[in-house]
Amino acid sequence: MFIFGDSKSLIVKYYIDATRNKGPKFAEGHFTEISEEDAVEYYVHTAMAYNQAKIDKASQDVLDALHEEFVAVFRYVIQFSEKTVKAVEEGRFSPPVGAKSFYREIVRELRHPSSADAG
């Protein structure tokens, strides 16, 4: 059987698929091609996948691939999820990797571009 995709996307898919039996369900497909509700659930599963990879003592390449996916999904979700934006701005957001300030800066950049320019 031949599986399409680069090794990074296959790693991400493997770990995210491993979380499907836990937590809320979400549709198959790229996170930009599914409903906003499913994209939020995918985002949750991406964090779960990163945490599982850490438990599994996965290589840094695996953790980096999952971190990149988490950030990409985060950037997408905050475009429409006021709940996520509010959690970040109020300090109630606990990312699986990276500093909270990194994610606050992404919110400022995407949701409040003039304040990001101001420094």
Percent of the chain predicted with pLDDT > 70: 91
What is the radius of gyration, based on Cα positions, of the chain? 15
- pLDDT at residue 4, as a whole number: 54
Q: What is the pLDDT of residue 113?
A: 75
**Angle (nearest 5°) at CA 71 between 53 and 115:** 150
Kindly report the average pLDDT of the chain as a whole number.
87
Spatial neighbors of 107 by CB under 8 A, at least 6 apart, are 78, 85, 88, 89
- Residue 2: pLDDT band with limits 50, 70, 90: very low
Give me the half-sphere count of Cα atoms (radius 13 Å) on the Cβ side of residue 54: 11
